[in-house]
Structure 1
Amino acid sequence: MQAINGTTDLYLIPGDPIANVRVPRMFNAVFARFGIDAVMVPTRVAARDLAVFLKASFLAKNLKGMVIAPPHKPLIVSLLDGCGLFGRVAGSVNIVRRLDNGELEGDLFDGEGLVHALDYYNIPFRGKRVLVLGAGVSAAAIGVALAEGGTVDGAEHIAFYDPVAGKAIGLATQLDSFFDATVVSVDSSDPASYDLIVNASQAGLQPGDPLACDVSRMEPHAALFDILLRGQPTPLVQAVRARGLNAQAGFEMLIQQMPNYLDYFGYGEAANGVRHDMRFLREQIYPEAMRAEIAAPLRYHSASVA
């Protein structure tokens, strides 16, 4: 472990709860690997205290930035001096940095992490039909990233389903007004007719949760990505794999954001190093039961991808 001293830059990750956050171990592994005099520390902060915490924390001159954990991502936007496009459209951010003039700006990389994870596993989404289960903060980020490339580099058709009345239609309407892709809400989680299903809901977090969709209705060519981190492989992932279809867990979505985080914080050399070799990060994140997928991620990606 690197020594912490008076020259060490500090990064925080506020959330509530924070017991299971994985981002600090990835950042600290990167800092150690590339000889960066910095450390990331998780901090448990209640939502009611977030505004005061954010402003007071950045009074420390060696605090360079934050990665934002749930449930605080949508609460941060109004506290910033500036925000990137993805953060503005989705209405949430997962990273904050301090500029040289002292202003705070943030952005959102959840969606880009998903897109890179899909590429890693060779799961097609460009020009495809995608069903997103859930319409919360993560679903919004995913929708922005899938739609941002237009119908050539992004999905052609994106549908949101959420059991909470009005939630999916509100998100779909917002995104449809920004992008060329067709973005709609649907009143069913039926996966039939879709090329890709993304579970961005909470279904699967608790034992006994019903599956987020009826996997028997998935098309023979379809794939599924479950963004949940706890309990992987979830019953949903296992059920899809039992059909012989491509189903992947959310760890890679988290890992694939690291180069974006590092670039945003000004560590370009480390970002390029991570793009070249992410295996050491997977060893930090993947649970023991899934370690075999680090060395051999099955048939779902090519050897040319990191």
Structure 2
Amino acid sequence: MTDLYAVFGNPINHSKSPHIHRHFAEQTGQDMTYTKQQVAPGEFDQAATEFFDKGGKGLNITVPFKLDAYSFAARLTPRARRAGAVNTLALQTDGTVLGDNTDGIGMIHDMHNLGWELRGKRVLILGAGGAVRGILQPLLEQEPQEVAIVNRTHHKAEQLANGFHDLGDVRALTLEALAGQQFDILINGTSASLHGELPPLPDDLLAPGACCYDMMYSAEPTVFLQWAQTHGAAAVADGLGMLIGQAAEAFYLWRQIRPEVVPVITAMRRQMTEKNQNHK
């Protein structure tokens, strides 16, 4: 019997999840199918209930349904509860549905694959939305020296910092307060760089050997990564590895097998580059 999995979202056509999980299933010899389904606003519970009633084993959840999935799950992992959002639903042996959030651990695994050290480092995060909330617990578990959050709306950054300060040294900073400070790891958690926007960052923000990570990804370097390269970053990376890393964590939750992510990252990066060149 082939096990059924899917990704729910709206819009969903752009989703690379079916492609990623097909790679994982072939690589690990798993008998499963994975589809994508566009769900209408307000119809998430009905769609998810139908999916599991028809024998579905697990779902990935993308925008705008991560809060719906949080409410839908009968049980939550500690990291999902902290994130306040769910991107993975897994049917349990007792018939209940577990909600998890694999975004943050996907990013941490990607940084480990890149050889980036987080322990004892000064980390700066741009943005204070749901994507950033999802990465904070796994990030703080790596024991950085400090995590600073900067957001256009400062009180949102403060709320986020207050919600996680029990896990480590995390605080909100204003853009003005960045003057004269240096950080080892910069993480862009906003989608603004995909639209060519970037907050006014000090020219000397990067410590020697600093690494810059954009949670967004595209065929061309984002504006944030272009800024990083021109301001002396030792290494830069976009979020393609995070996307594939969070999928691998979901796959492990469902199948108890951990797939190899690096070959999939390489294949998808090549595909994106070729597609981009063909459009030029």
Q: TM-score, normalised by structure 1?
A: 0.81
Q: Structure 1 stretch 46-55 or stretch 138-147: which is displaced more? A: 46-55
SS for the counterpart of 2:255 is coil
Q: Which amino acid aligns with 1:228?
A: M
The equivalent residue for 1:278 is: 262
CA distance in 2, matches of 1:164, 1:239: 22
The equivalent residue for 1:256 is: 245
The equivalent residue for 1:106 is: 99
Q: Which amino acid aligns with 2:198?
A: P
CA distance in 2, matches of 1:170, 1:290: 42
1:30 aligns with 2:24: yes
CA distance in 1, matches of 2:53, 2:269: 32
Q: For the aligned residues, what is the CA RMSD?
A: 2.2
1:173 aligns with 2:162: yes
Residue by residue, what CA displacement relative to the aligned partner does 1:120-142 show, whole Å, maximum 9, x if unpaired? Answer: 22222211111111111110121
Q: Structure 1 stretch 209-218 or stretch 154-163: which is displaced more? A: 209-218
Answer 1 or 2: which has greater strand percent.
2
- Higher relative CO (Cα under 8 Å, sequence separation at least 6) belongs to 2
Q: Cα distance 1:82–1:253, how it changes in 2: closer, same or farther (>3 A)? A: same
Contact 2:219 2:272 in 1 (8 A): no
Q: Which amino acid aligns with 2:171?
A: V
* Unaligned segments of structure 1, at least 5 residues: 1-6, 292-306
SS for the counterpart of 1:13 is strand
Aligned pairs (5 A) from 1:35-184: 35-61=29-55, 63-147=56-140, 149=141, 153-177=142-166, 179=167, 181-184=168-171
* Unaligned segments of structure 2, at least 5 residues: 276-280
- Of 229, 246, 267, 2:217 maps to 229
Residue by residue, what CA displacement relative to the aligned partner does 1:23-72 show, whole Å, maximum 9, x if unpaired? Answer: 210101222333322111111113311122112221112x1000111222
Q: CA deviation at 1:229?
A: 1.9
Contact 2:186 2:211 in 1 (8 A): yes
The equivalent residue for 2:205 is: 217
Residue by residue, what CA displacement relative to the aligned partner does 1:109-156 show, whole Å, maximum 9, x if unpaired? Answer: 111111111112222221111111111111012111111x2xxx4212
Q: Cα distance 1:212–1:282, how it changes in 2: closer, same or farther (>3 A)? A: farther
Q: Which amino acid aligns with 1:108?
A: N
Q: Which amino acid aligns with 1:225?
A: Y
Q: TM-score, normalised by structure 2?
A: 0.88
SS for the counterpart of 2:208 is coil
Answer 1 or 2: which has greater helix percent.
2
Contact 1:26 1:281 in 2 (8 A): no
Q: Cα distance 1:286–1:188, how it changes in 2: closer, same or farther (>3 A)? A: farther
Q: Cα distance 1:240–1:115, how it changes in 2: closer, same or farther (>3 A)? A: same
CA distance in 1, matches of 2:94, 2:9: 26
Q: Cα distance 1:281–1:202, how it changes in 2: closer, same or farther (>3 A)? A: closer
